[in-house]
Amino acid sequence: MLLHVGIDDTDSEKGMCTTYVGAVTIDRLKKQGIELIDCPKLIRLNPLWKHKTRGNCAISFTTDVSKNQIQKVKKIVLEGVEELAELNVKSTTPGVTFYQGERIPEKLRLFSKKVVQDVVTIEEAEKLADEIGAEIHKFGIGRGIIGALAAIGHPLEDDWTFELIAHRVKENWGTPRRVDEESVREMDEKTYPQTFDNLDPEAGEIHITPHTPCPILYGIRGETPEDVFEAQQIVKAEEPIERTILYKTNQGTDEHLKPAKIREAKPYHSIIIKGKVIKEPETITGGHVIFTIQDETGKADCAAYEPTRQFRDIVKQLEVEDIIKVYGGIKEKPELPLTINLEKLEIIELTSTKKKINPTCKKCGKRMKSAGKNKGYVCKKCKITLPEEAAEIIETPRKIKPGLHEVPTRARRHLAKPLIRVKSAERKY
């Protein structure tokens, strides 16, 4: 029979990572002869959620076990979490969930979607577990049961990617990571776009090594297991690797984003809104660029923050009346209007920049003056007048073009779908 296991909320800012707890547990199960069905899942949850430690991820996996193996699996998992989770940190409140069954209930799938796109309570998770007969284990207040259930419930069936994670040996946790940067560049050159978001080409930064004290040495993101394994062959680690694990994931899929109207937008939601620019971009202290859009239901500020670097150069060229779609998350902010933290910008229609200017005098070649409202133009020196229709029309060409623009890799959320993936998907149809 199938036993699904979900784990979340095992880490703190000081260390650990749920991907590691998953990897250790799975290896321990394998040593006991318990194999997994399919790839373990790494599910990124609501990227704006205030209680996340870092990337808001939870993991799950499925085993095919006989009745008398069930208790053994549960024991190994629970002991693993107890041993590895940062239980001494108050804000770390792990949750472990078990669900036995051949099919994932629809209610659990819907819950999973909600945890990625919205906010749920621990009580909601408990009620659901009760309804579907899932077993929950809470450590402390056990907020982790939310992510643990969501990870089991996620079908990863519309779009998905893979991440191959290498974990460090314990002695090296918290020390600078030693990975040959040149080899990462070579890997990117040889395998992009089948692997993606592993390097920020503009900043020249490698993006596979985290900057936190967690056990991850590197994570390589790609389209298929073959792609990430091929890439791993090229990356040279200059320190020992304790173990590696391949996760199937919703990273790079834009699953967090939902089309919405401004009136429906709320803090903690990530949305796609079509609107018209009504206040031109302004650069404020810190280098952040802010402008305002409007749709038929309201107004919202949009922000391209400093870390989005060159993306701001596109944003700065927007003009009032441009029709755009903004993709991004809404920050918690007490006052209105809401601010959308931009992840992508789609330019749909650029307003014309045609302007009327005074004609030049045919005799002296100087620009004529207005003779008064709707009274045409006059050159005082040559005493020549021209009617209103003689105005010249000039058009300043727009440098930006309709289409999608994205923030650079370094500023991208784990869930954000890189444009290269959007384009590859379009090519398939």
Q: Report the DSSP pairing between strands 338-349 and 354-357.
A: unpaired
Left (φ > 0), alpha (ψ -120 to 50) or beta: where does 376 sit? left
Q: Looking only at residues 21 through 50 of this chain, which bind ligand ATP when binding is defined by CB under 6 A?
A: 45-46, 49
The one among 8, 223, 242, 255 contacting ligand ATP by CB under 6 A: 8
| Residue 65 lies near ligand ATP (rule: CB under 6 A) | no
The one among 3, 7, 17, 361 contacting ligand ATP by CB under 6 A: 17
The one among 57, 134, 152, 318 contacting ligand ATP by CB under 6 A: 57
Minimum distance between the CB of residue 254 and ligand ATP, rounded to whole angstroms?
Answer: 16
| Residue 55 lies near ligand ATP (rule: CB under 6 A) | yes
| Residue 72 lies near ligand ATP (rule: CB under 6 A) | no
| Residue 251 lies near ligand ATP (rule: CB under 6 A) | no
Left (φ > 0), alpha (ψ -120 to 50) or beta: where does 359 sit? beta
Asked if residue 132 lies in contact with residue 108, where contact means CB atoms within 8 angstroms, the answer is yes
Bridge partners, 355 (sequence order)? 394
Minimum distance between the CB of residue 146 and ligand ATP, rounded to whole angstroms?
Answer: 3
Q: Report the DSSP pairing between strands 36-44 and 241-249.
A: parallel
Q: How far apart are CA 246 and CA 219, in angstroms?
A: 9
Tokens of 348: 């749909």
Kindly tell me which of 107 and 190 has the beta carbon lying closer to ligand ATP: 107
| Residue 18 lies near ligand ATP (rule: CB under 6 A) | yes
Kindly tell me which of 6 and 275 has the beta carbon lying closer to ligand ATP: 6
Q: How far apart are CA 245 and CA 251, in angstroms?
A: 16
Minimum distance between the CB of residue 222 and ligand ATP, rounded to whole angstroms?
Answer: 19
Bridge partners, 341 (sequence order)? 303, 329
Kindly tell me which of 344 and 413 has the beta carbon lying closer to ligand ATP: 413
The one among 27, 32, 37, 51 contacting ligand ATP by CB under 6 A: 51
| Residue 86 lies near ligand ATP (rule: CB under 6 A) | no
* Residue 273 backbone phi and psi in degrees, to 5: -125, 130
| Residue 53 lies near ligand ATP (rule: CB under 6 A) | yes
Asked if residue 75 lies in contact with residue 357, where contact means CB atoms within 8 angstroms, the answer is no
Tokens of 218: 């590197």
- Tell me which stretch binds ligand ATP (CB under 6 A): 53-61, 127-135, 287-295, 361-369: 53-61
Kindly tell me which of 18 and 249 has the beta carbon lying closer to ligand ATP: 18
Eight-state DSSP code of residue 35: P
Kindly tell me which of 55 and 153 has the beta carbon lying closer to ligand ATP: 55
**Quick check: helix, strand or coil at residue 414?**
coil
| Alpha carbon 403 to chain centroid, angstroms | 19
Q: How far apart are CA 243 and CA 216, in angstroms?
A: 10
DSSP letter for each residue of 153-213: H----SS-EEEEEEEEPGGGTTSPP-B-HHHHHHHHHHHTTTB-SSEETTTTEE-SS-SSS
The one among 14, 52, 276, 316 contacting ligand ATP by CB under 6 A: 52
Tokens of 315: 């944003």
Tokens of 249: 């994931």
x/- binding map, residues 255-294, to ligand ATP, per CB under 6 A? ----------------------------------------
x/- binding map, residues 130-169, to ligand ATP, per CB under 6 A? -------------xx-xx----------------------
Tokens of 23: 């990897």
Tokens of 201: 């080409």
Asked if residue 278 lies in contact with residue 294, where contact means CB atoms within 8 angstroms, the answer is yes
Kindly tell me which of 144 and 222 has the beta carbon lying closer to ligand ATP: 144
38 class by beta-carbon count within 10 Å (0-12 exposed, 13-18 middle, 19+ buried): exposed
The one among 3, 6, 7, 11 contacting ligand ATP by CB under 6 A: 11
Kindly tell me which of 49 and 173 has the beta carbon lying closer to ligand ATP: 49
Count interface residues toward ligand ATP (CB under 6 A).
22
Q: Looking only at residues 115 through 134 of this chain, which bind ligand ATP when binding is defined by CB under 6 A?
A: 115, 119-120
The one among 25, 56, 191, 292 contacting ligand ATP by CB under 6 A: 56
Kindly tell me which of 252 and 281 has the beta carbon lying closer to ligand ATP: 252
Nearest residue to 39 (alpha-carbon basis) of 220, 163, 135, 166 = 163
- Taking CB positions, which residue lies at the least distance from ligand ATP? 147
Kindly tell me which of 150 and 304 has the beta carbon lying closer to ligand ATP: 150
Kindly tell me which of 116 and 303 has the beta carbon lying closer to ligand ATP: 116
Binding site for ligand ATP (CB under 6 A): 8-9, 11, 17-18, 45-46, 49, 51-57, 115, 119-120, 143-144, 146-147
